Amino acid sequence: MTRLQLGARGSALSRAQANLIVQALSPWAEIEVAVVTTTGDRLSAREAPISWKGDFTKELDEAVLSGRIDFAVHSAKDVPSRLPEGLALVAVPEREDPADVLVAWPRRRFEELPSGARIGTSSPRRRAQLLAARPDLVVVEARGNVDTRIRRLHEKRFDALVLARAGLARLGRLEEISDVFTGEILLSAPGQGALALIARGGDSDVRSLLSRLDHPPSHQEVLAERGLLARLEAGCRAPVAARARVEAGALGLAAGVFSTDGARSLKEEASGSALEAEAIGHEVADRLLEAGAAELISGGSP
């Protein structure tokens, strides 16, 4: 049986994601998980801000390129829109629900939060949309892993948190959810809910094996959302949201760019063949740029 090394971060969520891949590949290969500490892990441990999307992927990608590991699993939302030369996004397994969710203590729905409630998130995208929907809320920084943030919620540092449903699902903690946001209130991050399997572009044996896990509709959705990001040249601190949906071979993409205070927003949609996923992402990005998205991304006014 083929033996390969899969690289993952040391967080509970990253280990859970790696275990899903190990189990899925078990009929064809024996996979050993190698834990790689990334810049993002070190920054998170100090509760420092993440300044670049690749902070959670750089060291793993370097390990793949050097041959120390055979492939890596990332949360697709953490993968920069342009991969290092020599690497390829080989497979996207079936995507989890990408919705954002509310975790409140005591348990309440979003509309039930009292005026002035402190809602924790470190995401400019979430901050902007939360304030657009409820300008009476106070959005405060919430850093650290899921366990840390939920513990601090129960310590009353926040009244509520916004987290990704997919992460809670993979950690077996869906019971924590108080409310699920619709896309009309809180449109998700590009790539949210999806896993990205990264390998060396020229490693045909590994690529062939990983292709068994690829879910074409999920892959096409991620390609559209990543195409949008690449065209916008937007990083992890940019208040950009996107959600692609593939049904019966057709892909629809909705996206938005926001001012960080939630006062201004630009939204666009497009649809077409799922085989043209990346091009649809570019089309929506071009419409947003024509409407002034670059200024919003950089923190100015359109």
Cβ within 8 Å of residue 215, ≥6 positions away: 92, 93, 94, 95
Q: Are 249 and 273 in contact (CB under 8 A)?
A: yes
Instruction: Report the interhelical angle of 146-154 vs 12-25 (nearest 10°).
Output: 140
Quote the DSSP letter at residue 67.
T
Q: Which of 41, 55, 70, 78 is catalytic?
A: 78
* Cα distances (angstroms) measured from residue 138 to each of 116, 120, 141: 6, 9, 10
3-state secondary structure of 269: strand
Task: Find tokens 């999806």 and name the residue.
Answer: 194
Q: Is the peptide bond before 302 cis (omega within 30 degrees of 0)?
A: no
Furthest-apart CA pair in the chain: how many Å? Answer: 59
Q: Which residues pair with 240 in a beta bridge?
A: 257
Token output for 63:
């390990």
100 noted as active-site residue: no
Token reading at 24? 């899925």
Structure tokens at 85: 């030369």
Compute the distance between CA of residue 105 and CA of residue 221 in angstroms, rounded to an integer: 34
Active site residues: 78
